[in-house]
Amino acid sequence: MIAAAGHLFRLARAGFVFAREGVLALADPEALPAPARLGLRVARLMERPSGEGASVRLSAALTRLGPTYVKLGQFLATRPDVVGPALARDLESLQDRMAPFPQGEAEAAVAGALGKPLPELYVSFGPAVAAASIAQVHKATVAARPRDGADPGPQAKEELDSRLRGDEREGAQTVAVKVLRPGIDRRLRSDLDTLYFAARNAERHSTEARRLRMVEVVDTLARSVTIEMDLRLEAAAIAEMRDNVRGDPDFRVPTVDWERTARGVLTLEWIDGTPLSNRVALEARGLDLPALGRALMQAFLRHALRDGFFHADMHPGNLFVDSEGRIVAVDFGIMGRLSPKERRFLAEILYGFITRNYYRTAEVHFEAGYVPPHHSVESFAQAIRAIGEPIHNRTAADISMAKLLTLLFEVTGLFDMKTRPELLLLQKTMVVVEGVARSFDRDLDMWATAEPVVREWVERHLGPAGRLEDVAQGAGEVGKFLGEVPSLLGRAARVTDQLDAATRDGLVLAPETVAAIGEAEARRSRWTTVALWVIAGLLGVVIWKLV
């Protein structure tokens, strides 16, 4: 009861903030029953005067409510199937920026998480350079290691320390230190409990809430936030992507300092580059901006198709250009994954539109199991053609792969295609990447840019070499099964011997089992006798009435 009262209080506060910020203007009163319409009108009397749009007010309300609601807004921006395309687009502008927490608290959190005094960990530890709802980032320096990775020894360490005193930093490496906000895990758990309470009650009383699977939405949000709350998992994502792109000429990922990384602290290489959001600085460096846009788009497609693992928050503030002209990504809190099946689905769809093979594109949907088999492939191909043909009659500047995927998902909804959250996250990220690329070249031909990456993947995985690999993999699975046959036969023989021993002289039951069976039989006999007497009595009454 106390917990429910706490949840109701927090929900009432959230409702007041939404009403005060004017978020309720987003609600359609015609879709509500009469009592709810009256309540909406009364609540809107609390709106503060503002010339801002409803979407800006929503962002302001979510920011006021705190970290969990900011993350909820960012998550819902990836789920247009839940909130609708218009609201999802508005939520994409939600900025996760908060006031930094005090320097002393940050230093204490780092020392506590790493189990050492701060001076033993960092040569210098500067103030926060960026602050978000869950963590903030500090610029720091650490003592440089010898190139061969060996221990420099006590004397060399003393010499290095002397060089690092004062303002001399020649022997130090600059790093970025991400620190979780103190107490954020307790705050998030409390807010998530309240959201679960609201979702369960909504599904209990609303058919629409059950259709939108509100509890499942909170489940997904909880998993996402849990991952972000353990910075070791973000470090692992960085390391995995760094391995994936090691040979790429135009994209790289920072190095993780694992010795200074824990659940609440992440230390990695400081990226000293030009942000993609600063067009003036990029032009001043003499960079080829259209080529930079093409490189970004191709890098994203390689990550999605080749690796099945992509950065899902590639806005310009998270992307830099280093001194060698390579794109460098930071902030790996949101990542997307595609299974081999989904990668094949994506590649064949894009390739089908590029080559105008709409029937094959339709077949891919059915082969992947995304469209139920009771629908017609021919009818689905016709619907896809209605999307693809207008694209080929437009100029390169009018062609948008992100818009194509959006239209495709809308059409597939007519054919009972179930929502695929991982594909929606891919589509949302593609919208952002395409927007950045077009900001550098408004006439960018997205299809010509994507074609080499998609064609390479198709030839590699769907051509003769890919088929040979499939055969080899299948042979490997068969070999693995055959290798396990002797073990399976051995286990079967042991089971057979045990059954034979158990039944050789008849089944022997434990005394307790015999007693339990006897009692059950006795109960059944008593009830059988009672039932027979009842039936006999009823028959007697019937006969007496007839006589």
What is the spatial distance between Cα 458 and Cα 283, in angstroms, rounded to a whole number?
A: 36
Q: 519, 525 in Cβ contact below 8 A?
A: no
Quote the tokens at residue 225: 């936030």
Q: 343, 304 in Cβ contact below 8 A?
A: yes
Q: 88, 77 in Cβ contact below 8 A?
A: yes
Q: 131, 204 in Cβ contact below 8 A?
A: no
Helices 421-440, 401-414: axis angle to 10 degrees equals 150
Give the residue from 197, 174, 285 showing the smallest Cα distance to 2: 197
Looking at 313, 322, 443, 505, which residue is catalytic?
A: 313
Three-state secondary-structure class, residue 49: coil
Angle, alpha carbons 211-216-220 (nearest 5°): 140
Q: 352, 360 in Cβ contact below 8 A?
A: yes
Amino acid code (one letter) for 476: G
Place of tokens 């790289």: 252
Three-state secondary-structure class, residue 545: helix
List the beta bridge partners of residue 275.
320
What is the spatial distance between Cα 523 and Cα 167, in angstroms, rounded to a whole number?
A: 91
Please provide residue 320's backbone torsions phi and psi, each rounded to the nearest 5 degrees.
-130, 165
Give the residue from 242, 248, 327 showing the smallest Cα distance to 282: 327
Give the residue from 394, 393, 388, 398 showing the smallest Cα distance to 442: 398
Q: 79, 421 in Cβ contact below 8 A?
A: yes
Q: 197, 7 in Cβ contact below 8 A?
A: yes
What is the spatial distance between Cα 163 and Cα 160, in angstroms, rounded to a whole number?
A: 5
Helix ranges (DSSP H) in 328-420: 340-355, 358-367, 377-392, 401-414
- Cα–Cα distances in angstroms (integers) from residue 449 to residues 54, 290, 321, 402, in the given order: 37, 11, 20, 14
| Catalytic status, residue 313 | yes
The DSSP call for residue 256 is B
Q: In sequence order, what are the residues at sequence separation of 6 or more whose Cβ sits closer than 8 angstroms to the Cβ of residue 17?
A: 61, 64, 65
Active site residues: 313
